Structure 1
Amino acid sequence: MSDLIQILPDNVANQIAAGEVVQRPASVVKELVENAIDAGGNSIKINLKDAGRTLIQVIDNGCGMSVTDARLAFERHATSKIRKAKDLFAIRTMGFRGEALASIAAIANVELKTKRTEDELGTHIVISGSEAISQEVSACSDGSNFIVKNLFFNVPARRKFLKANSTELRNIITEFHRIVLSHPEIAFQLLHNDSEIYNLPASHIRQRIINVFGKGMNQRLISINTSTSIVKLTGFIGKPKNAKRNLGEQFFFVNNRYMRHPYFHKAIMQAYDKILPPETIPPYFIFFEVDPQIIDINIHPTKTEIKFEDERAIYQIIQASIREALGKFNIVPSIDFDEDNSLEIPVADSNADIEAPMIKVNPEFNPFEADLNYNPFDGEKSYNPFDEERRSFESNQFYQEFKAKTPPQQSGGTRKPVPEKWETLYEEPSKRESDEKLNQAKIDRENIPDYFQPQKPPEEFVQKKLHPQEQIQKAKNFFQLKNKYILTPIRSGLMIIDQRKAHERILFEKFINSLENHQGIAQQTLFPQTIELNASDYTLLQVIIEDVRALGFDIREFGKKTFVINGTPADIHNCEPKELVENLLANYKSNQMDVKLKIRENLAKALAKASALNYGKTLSNEEMSSIIDQLFACSTPNFTPDGKAIISVLESQELESRFK
């Protein structure tokens, strides 16, 4: 029997590696831009066609590569960042594994034009599917120019599972945000289908955040700056009132490298405890500066997960730093932080000896024989600060005059006179009060004129007293519990309805009907509102704008990344148009994880959730009756579009069993 184990060819091994490194066009953009940053470029341009399917081009003005380096860069595990294993714990560059270019070249057509400053001519290399097509001398500018065409051309299964262009473009913009925020000193330009999305000049970090997320972000930021022996924290957090319901403005950076860290995110959420609106997440842009030796960045292929040596101490430092910042800006009840601005949290050394604290105590201390100000922990009398305050108060002129006018209390003075009707003092309060009210009513009734005396109503206006069961059948009885649930009795027991979920189902079916018939009615606003969106939301709204108008929105594009809202759907009341559009886009993006959900159904579902009745609103009997009538007119009254229960029935048998 022949041997079964064999070495894979390089092109197959590179395609397998590409499955980890290159998941979508955004992964290619990330790897190429990080290489451009490591090359020392201070100006980077990214050009895309069809959200990266057709073309991804990254141009930088960095150091460039020689003829030999340009060819070796596409080999597996070829890198200039590390030489030995010890270097893995002292990495400050973006890339280091040496797999990115080899993986990209395995599943795309790649061209590279590169030139060093000291060379007269550069190098032009063409590679397709890990196979070198050509390599020749070329005249080009300093730096590197990577061109990636026809991504996944030889892996049709991977290409087939790519999302729509709008979705893939948003993924690219998300990666773009992570890179540009960590390197504000570099100028970036992003173009898609020859249309400029971003043009960011070199600036400081606050200005870079404003340039990326809009001018309105400037008023929402609170700066933090904390230095300890473990970590240095800088950056910005958002004000609680500007928190949103979706993720997208939350960033951690360690030594200028983006990372995801759920444990540190939890520390931030606990620091905002009880000051955030429900189901919202505050924005934050936090930069960690740590010794590379106490972190491990080589635990994930995309290098977005980082392991810290002492995460619990950093957790506490993050909490304390954010609470300090919120206190300084009067977001929460503040403490005087001017006296000591240090948030040093000592970490116990496992090798150090632990000594018990020494406390001097007088074993012969008797509290019944000691002086008032005696401190058992000292050999001397302790100082009582209240003595000086008492002496200063007693020496006050007002206190002396008041003391002179007040007669001294005599221990042998005469007793106070006994009050009249002292026996009534020991009667029950309810009996005594009822007797007093009865006597007062008799007196008042005697003094009222005859024409003000109540007359007996005519017989035809006397309403007959109905049986309780007849009263329930005569009128609809609705009750509101905690401004959240609607209760109504039914034959089998008690029906409980969630008012927000019921309203969400009602609106969803109305919006679906409007989208199918294109009959959405817009209610014009008195004053049009303009809304500035980031690039991701801007491109999304451009894609779904026609369906948004079919729902009843009167919305038009107004300048770069800005829309003007002239009207909102007539079925929606008491909602700010700007906030409504932001929540609509946020819910739409969160629903895109469900592949089976159609675009129009997703849009109706997102708008219903964004505009549904909030908890805490007091409803009148007529409003509760209207909600219930509309709910049971829906095709699926029992469940929300998300599949959550709207109605629950407490059976009579279960209710009776609770009283046995």
Structure 2
Amino acid sequence: MSDVIQLLPDHVANQIAAGEVVQRPASVVKELMENAIDAEAQTIKLIVKDAGKTLIQVIDDGNGMSPTDARLSFERHATSKIRSAEDLFQLHTKGFRGEALASIAAIAHVELKTKQIGDEVGTALVIEGSEISSQEVVVTPKGTSVSVKNLFFNIPARRNFLKSNSVELRHIIDEFHRVAMAHPGLSFSMYHNGSESFNLPVSNYRQRIVNIFGSKTNEKLVPVTEETEVVNISGFVGKPEFAKKTRGEQYFFVNHRFIKSPYLNHAIGAAFEGLLKQGTHPSYFLYLEVDPQTIDINIHPTKTEIKFDDEHTIYALLRSAVKHSLGQFNIAPVLDFDQDENLQTPYHLRNKPASAPGIEVDRNFNPFREETASRPKQQSSRFSKPAPQQWESLYVGLESKSSESSDNFSEVHFESDPETTSMFDDTQENLNNQSTYQLHNKYIVSPIKSGMLVIDQHRAHQRILYEDYLKNITIKEAVTQQLLFPLTMHFSKQEIAMISQLKEDLEAAGFIFDEVKNETVSVSGVPVGVSESEVSIILEALLRDVENDVPDTHFSAVDLLAKSIAKSLAIKTGQHLQKDEQEHLVNKLFACKEPNVSPTNKPTFITMSVDELDKKFI
């Protein structure tokens, strides 16, 4: 029998490795930017076209490479970061496996230009599908420029799995933020389709966060600092009142490397216990420095998950540090018994001497003695009450006045509602026609011929609003109500970009925008039925839905917009409805095209027949 095990060809092995390293254009951005940081670059520029599908270019002013190193960098397991297995436990660099450039070159067209400091000329390489097509000497600035074009050009199936440009661009921006926040001492800039998206100068941690997420972020940050033998903690957490319903602004950095850790995230949640509304999550930007020997960063292909030697200690220290900061800056409630006594005295009484209160006592008072006319009259005071036998005097003269006034109104007729007879004489028939009942302020119960109908009021109202807004946005006939004063809201640059994309559809839904620029959104008109206080809630919920489920090429942005607005404005569970409101909701629901399900494909009502009820009593 012939041998069946064979070695894979290099180009096949490279494409298999690329499946782990390069999942989407954002993966290429991460690898190239981390290589630039390892090359000791001070300025890093990211250029993206068509969300990275056409071009991803990273330009840095780092150390550069020699012609030999430039060619070797695209070989598998070729790296300058480690020399022996022991070096894996003393890692101070980003990439160390030697797979990134080889994997990228296997599935894209790569152009590399690099020059070392002190050299007069540099090297240019062109690689297509792991094959080096040309290598020549060029004049280029110091540092390295890597251009990745036509990602997945030789793997059409992988290219078809990429999402729409807006989705892929969001992932690229996320990776850009993570690398930029981990290294505030470096200058970063990003360009998409020729326009500048971010320009981040050299700064400290707080300024870098504000430059990325907007100037309004500065007032939301509470500093956190803790130094121990196990870990040094620094960074910021957001104030509880600015907590969001998404986990977007949550960042952990360990030794200047972004990580994801549900365990440490739970420590932050424990520190905020009792300070957050239900369903909201705090923002945090925390930097941890630990001994490289106490962590393992090689447990995940993307190196975003690491293993700590002593997770429990770091958990306790992190929770304690955040809790201490919240209390130190008067964010969390504290008990303070050392108060200034002067604060307890009103200002107009501060310099006034205290006067002894006067006490008046009736020594002849006997509660068991009957009141007599001969009893001496008590000294009147403002607290004295009329004697019990004098209560008749209060009504003297009222009898005559009432008799006089009654003559003037002797012919007063009271208007009463016209009496109507019941349409149904039978009380049971009348009971059956009482159409709806509200149960626990959550469900609407309505009797039907075969049994009863139980409607979820929140989902039912979502379906009604969804179809109304979908119709208004589609035919652009929404009715707008003008605000007396324009409403100004602040968002980050990334959120402003998303609002700009949705602006046309929002205007079709009834919103009127005065301006959408920089970090400010000004709204002067809202759809009818939307209150001014709900505008920010609607826009934040819309941005959250867009981030979690960005409309793809086969998915309508209008549909997502209608769903998001309907979910924000729908009647909430726990809201009491009057009889006419209940009946109106039921009638509107069954006038919809698809009354059976909510916009998220969940049932809006269930039916229970009399037979099913009878079985419950067997």
Query: TM-score with structure 2 length normalisation?
Result: 0.82
- 1:50/1:193 contact within 8 Å kept: yes
2:245 maps to which residue?
245
Deviation at 1:61? 1.0
2:312 maps to which residue?
312
| Rounded Cα–Cα distance in structure 2 between residues aligned with 1:155 and 1:337 | 70
2:224 aligned with 1:188, yes or no?
A: no
Assess, with a 3 A threshold, how the Cα gap between structure 1 residues 190 and 456 changes in structure 2: closer, same or farther: closer
What amino acid is aligned across from residue 606 of structure 1 in structure 2? S
SS of residue in 1 equivalent to 2:226: strand
| Rounded Cα–Cα distance in structure 2 between residues aligned with 1:158 and 1:459 | 76
| Rounded Cα–Cα distance in structure 2 between residues aligned with 1:315 and 1:58 | 37
2:2 maps to which residue?
2
Deviation at 1:490? 5.1
The within-5 A match list for 1:460-499 is 468-473=427-432, 475-479=434-438, 481=440, 483-488=441-446, 495-499=453-457
Deviation at 1:652? 6.0
Which moves more between the two structures, 242-251 or 31-40? 242-251
The within-5 A match list for 1:206-217 is 206-217=206-217
Deviation at 1:601? 1.9
| Rounded Cα–Cα distance in structure 1 between residues aligned with 2:270 and 2:606 | 33
- 1:328/1:334 contact within 8 Å kept: no
Assess, with a 3 A threshold, how the Cα gap between structure 1 residues 151 and 330 changes in structure 2: closer, same or farther: same
| Rounded Cα–Cα distance in structure 1 between residues aligned with 2:268 and 2:604 | 33
- 2:464/2:589 contact within 8 Å kept: yes
Assess, with a 3 A threshold, how the Cα gap between structure 1 residues 28 and 618 changes in structure 2: closer, same or farther: same
Assess, with a 3 A threshold, how the Cα gap between structure 1 residues 240 and 595 changes in structure 2: closer, same or farther: farther
Assess, with a 3 A threshold, how the Cα gap between structure 1 residues 467 and 97 changes in structure 2: closer, same or farther: same
2:387 maps to which residue?
none
What amino acid is aligned across from residue 571 of structure 2 in structure 1? L
The within-5 A match list for 1:350-429 is none
2:509 maps to which residue?
551
| Rounded Cα–Cα distance in structure 1 between residues aligned with 2:415 and 2:124 | 106
Q: For the aligned residues, what is the CA RMSD?
A: 3.6
| Rounded Cα–Cα distance in structure 2 between residues aligned with 1:35 and 1:573 | 50
- 1:506/1:631 contact within 8 Å kept: yes
| Rounded Cα–Cα distance in structure 1 between residues aligned with 2:193 and 2:554 | 29
1:43 maps to which residue?
43
The counterpart of 2:462, out of the listed 482, 487, 504, is 504
Which moves more between the two structures, 648-657 or 620-629? 648-657
- 2:551/2:560 contact within 8 Å kept: no
| Rounded Cα–Cα distance in structure 1 between residues aligned with 2:417 and 2:147 | 96
| Rounded Cα–Cα distance in structure 2 between residues aligned with 1:337 and 1:639 | 57
SS of residue in 2 equivalent to 1:318: helix
2:254 aligned with 1:254, yes or no?
A: yes
1:344 maps to which residue?
none
| Rounded Cα–Cα distance in structure 2 between residues aligned with 1:329 and 1:648 | 51
- 2:500/2:516 contact within 8 Å kept: no
| Rounded Cα–Cα distance in structure 2 between residues aligned with 1:470 and 1:17 | 74
| Rounded Cα–Cα distance in structure 1 between residues aligned with 2:458 and 2:154 | 50
SS of residue in 2 equivalent to 1:641: coil
2:532 aligned with 1:568, yes or no?
A: no
Assess, with a 3 A threshold, how the Cα gap between structure 1 residues 459 and 325 changes in structure 2: closer, same or farther: closer
- 1:591/1:606 contact within 8 Å kept: no
Deviations 1:153-206 (Å, cap 9, x if unpaired)?
111221222221111111100111111111111110000111000001111111
Where in structure 2 are there 5+ consecutive unaligned residues? 339-360, 362-366, 369-394
Deviation at 1:283? 1.3
2:193 aligned with 1:234, yes or no?
A: no
- 1:268/1:318 contact within 8 Å kept: yes
Identity of aligned residues (%): 49
| Rounded Cα–Cα distance in structure 2 between residues aligned with 1:459 and 1:166 | 64
| Rounded Cα–Cα distance in structure 2 between residues aligned with 1:513 and 1:654 | 38
Which moves more between the two structures, 146-155 or 571-580? 571-580
The within-5 A match list for 1:160-179 is 160-179=160-179
Deviation at 1:475? 4.7
Assess, with a 3 A threshold, how the Cα gap between structure 1 residues 316 and 489 changes in structure 2: closer, same or farther: farther
Deviation at 1:112? 1.3
SS of residue in 2 equivalent to 1:148: strand
Deviation at 1:582? 1.9
What amino acid is aligned across from residue 168 of structure 1 in structure 2? E
Deviation at 1:110? 1.1
Assess, with a 3 A threshold, how the Cα gap between structure 1 residues 460 and 215 changes in structure 2: closer, same or farther: closer
Query: TM-score with structure 1 length normalisation?
Result: 0.77
Assess, with a 3 A threshold, how the Cα gap between structure 1 residues 85 and 558 changes in structure 2: closer, same or farther: same
Deviations 1:602-625 (Å, cap 9, x if unpaired)?
222122123323344443333333
1:534 maps to which residue?
492
Deviation at 1:333? 2.4
2:603 maps to which residue?
645
SS of residue in 1 equivalent to 2:517: coil
2:588 aligned with 1:633, yes or no?
A: no
2:459 aligned with 1:523, yes or no?
A: no
| Rounded Cα–Cα distance in structure 1 between residues aligned with 2:121 and 2:174 | 36
1:101 maps to which residue?
101
- 2:167/2:550 contact within 8 Å kept: no
What amino acid is aligned across from residue 303 of structure 2 in structure 1? K
- 2:112/2:125 contact within 8 Å kept: yes
| Rounded Cα–Cα distance in structure 2 between residues aligned with 1:112 and 1:550 | 47
Deviation at 1:280? 2.2
SS of residue in 1 equivalent to 2:273: coil
- 1:514/1:551 contact within 8 Å kept: yes
